Amino acid sequence: MSFAEDASRPSPAAQGAPKLRLVTPQTEEASLWASFAGASDASEFCTAWLAIQCRTVPDAVSGLLLLQEGRARFTPAAIWPDRARDVTHLARTAQQALAEKRGIVAAGRDGASEVAYPLELDGQVHGAVVLELRATGAALQAALRQLHWGAGWLETLFRRRRAGEDAEQLRRTALALDVVAVAGEHPRLHAAAVAVATDLATRLECRRVCLGLAKRRGAKLVAISHAAWFEQKAQTVAAIESAMEEALDQDVPVLVPALPETSRRISLAAAELGRLSGANAVATVPLTSGSRTVGVLTFEREGAPFDASTLRLLEAVGHALGPIVAAKADSEKLVTGRIVTALGDGLRAVFGPRRPALKLAVAAAIGATAWLAVATGEFRVAARAAIEGSIQRAAVAPFEGFVATAPARAGDVVEEGQLLATLDDRELALEAARWRAERDQQQLRYQEALGRQDRAQARMLAAQVRQTEAQLALVEGKLERARIRAPFRGVVVSGDLSQQLGAPVETGRVLFEVAPLEGFRVVLRVDERDMRYVTEGQGGRLVLTGLSGQSFPVRVTKVTPVANTQDGRNVFRVEATVTDPDARLRPGMEGVAKLSVDDQPLAWIWTRSLVDWARMSLWTWLP
pLDDT in tens, 29-39: 677 677 666 66
Clarify whether residues 502 and 523 are in a common domain.
Answer: no
Dmax (CA) of the chain: 225
- Which helix (H) or strand (E) is 122 found in, with range? none
Distance CA(124)–CA(386), nearest Å, equals 80
Q: Is residue 214 in a domain?
A: yes
Clarify whether residues 70 and 205 are in a common domain.
Answer: no
The pLDDT-based confidence of 300 (bands split at 50, 70, 90) is very high
Q: Of the spans 337-351, 477-491, 557-571, which averages the highest pLDDT?
A: 557-571
Q: Of the spans 16-20, 33-37, 217-221, which averages the highest pLDDT?
A: 217-221
Output the domain CATH number for residue 99: 3.30.450.40
Clarify whether residues 473 and 494 are in a common domain.
Answer: yes
Q: Is residue 538 in a domain?
A: yes
Q: Is residue 342 in a domain?
A: no
With H, G, I as helix, E, B as strand and everything else as coil, classify residue 92. helix
Clarify whether residues 397 and 464 are in a common domain.
Answer: yes
Distance CA(314)–CA(301), nearest Å, equals 14
Clarify whether residues 90 and 191 are in a common domain.
Answer: no
- How many domains are there within the chain? 4
Output the domain CATH number for residue 592: 2.40.30.170
Clarify whether residues 196 and 328 are in a common domain.
Answer: yes
Q: Is residue 201 in a domain?
A: yes
| Distance between start and end Cα atoms, the chain | 140
Instruction: Name the burial class of residue 403, with classes exposed (0-12), middle (13-18) and buried (19+) by CB atoms within 10 angstroms of its CB.
Output: buried
pLDDT of residue 198: 93
Clarify whether residues 263 and 204 are in a common domain.
Answer: yes
pLDDT above 80 (res 517): no
Backbone phi and psi for residue 30, each to the nearest 5 degrees, phi listed first: -65, -40
pLDDT in tens, 78-120: 888 887 788 888 888 888 888 888 888 888 787 788 888 888 8
Clarify whether residues 147 and 215 are in a common domain.
Answer: no
Clarify whether residues 416 and 504 are in a common domain.
Answer: yes
C-beta separation of 297 from 157 below 8 A: no
Lowest mean pLDDT among 36-45, 60-69, 88-97: 36-45
Q: Is residue 485 in a domain?
A: yes
Among residues 461, 487, 511, the one where a domain terminates is 511
Structural domain boundaries enclosing 234: 185-332
Q: 0.75 exceeded by the pTM?
A: no
pLDDT above 60 (res 567): yes
How far is residue 79 from each of residues 53, 75, 127, 151, 259, measured CA to CA in Å? 12, 11, 14, 16, 28
In the DSSP assignment, the letter for residue 518 is S
Q: Is residue 78 in a domain?
A: yes
Q: Going along 172-318, which residue ranges are E strands?
A: 208-215, 218-224, 254-256, 281-289, 292-301
pLDDT above 80 (res 287): yes
Distance CA(312)–CA(314), nearest Å, equals 5
Partner residues linked to 555 by β-bridges: 539, 577
Clarify whether residues 110 and 191 are in a common domain.
Answer: no
DSSP output for 369-400: HHHHHH-EEEEEEEEEEEEEESS-EEEE-SSS
Distance CA(281)–CA(444), nearest Å, equals 146
Clarify whether residues 493 and 534 are in a common domain.
Answer: no
Clarify whether residues 125 and 152 are in a common domain.
Answer: yes
Distance CA(153)–CA(159), nearest Å, equals 11
Q: Is residue 2 in a domain?
A: no
pLDDT above 50 (res 14): no
Lowest mean pLDDT among 252-261, 302-311, 468-477, 605-614: 468-477
Q: Is residue 529 in a domain?
A: yes
pLDDT of residue 20: 38
